[in-house]
Amino acid sequence: MTSNHTEDKQLQGITLESVLEKRRLDQALNAKEFAVCAGVSYSTARSWFHLAGFPSFRGVIFWQDFVQWRTGQNGFAAQAEDLPHHNGDTAAVSTLPPRAAQILLES
């Protein structure tokens, strides 16, 4: 059985198994990996990455940030995750997607 992502030339070589493992490990996904994980074409994923408010950061996205964004887009109340407290300046961090901000604050 051929999966849809193998029909997209841009997604050849990206396996669903490897992408799901990265998602399970809470690792960032690039646009191609995200497309496979979300079940959309690469061109759709790229267009989402350029949408205002889409939670990508420097060409990658954390799956949980996408789920929160999608929940908000669908009009459902998103579950807010509390970021860890940090003594430094958090103004720049507040503009990042939640998971990226959390990683930065924990460093």
Q: Write down the pTM of the prediction.
A: 0.68
The DSSP string of 13-71 is T--HHHHHHHHHTT--EEHHHHHHHHT--HHHHHHHHTSTT---BTTEE-HHHHHHHHH
Check if the beta carbon of residue 48 is closer than 8 Å to that of residue 82: no
* Distance from C-alpha of 69 to C-alpha of 66, rounded to nearest angstrom: 5
Q: What values do phi and psi take at 46, rounded to 5? A: -60, -40
* Residues 10-61: tens digit of each pLDDT: 888 899 999 999 999 999 999 999 999 999 999 999 999 999 999 999 999 9
* Distance from C-alpha of 95 to C-alpha of 107, rounded to nearest angstrom: 17
